[in-house]
């Protein structure tokens, strides 16, 4: 079992702003998480914040 990273295009559905990033894919995840920097670049509205950690 390994890690899967791909290039994905993320878009803000409200204004069409988009950004291509390299991302770790978790097919069993319930939620999608992006960094604060990516959210700001896409001008996404912040609904809440929570620290997330990732261990390999």
In this predicted structure, what is the pLDDT of residue 1? Answer: 65
Maximum Cα interatomic distance, the chain, rounded to a whole number of Å: 38
**Poorest-pLDDT segment among 37-41, 47-51, 52-56:** 52-56
| CA atoms of 30 and 51, how far apart (whole Å) | 16
Q: Name the region of 8 (left: φ>0; alpha: ψ -120 to 50; beta: rest).
A: beta
Tens-place pLDDT, residues 5-44: 999 999 999 999 999 999 988 888 888 888 889 999 999 9
Above 70 in pLDDT, residue 56?
no
């Amino acid at each position: 079992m390994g890690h899967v990273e791909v290039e994905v295009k993320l878009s803000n559905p409200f204004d069409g702003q988009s950004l291509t990033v390299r991302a770790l894919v978790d097919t069993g995840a319930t939620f999608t998480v992006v960094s604060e920097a990516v959210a700001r670049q896409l001008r996404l509205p912040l609904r809440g914040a929570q620290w997330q950690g990732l261990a390999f």
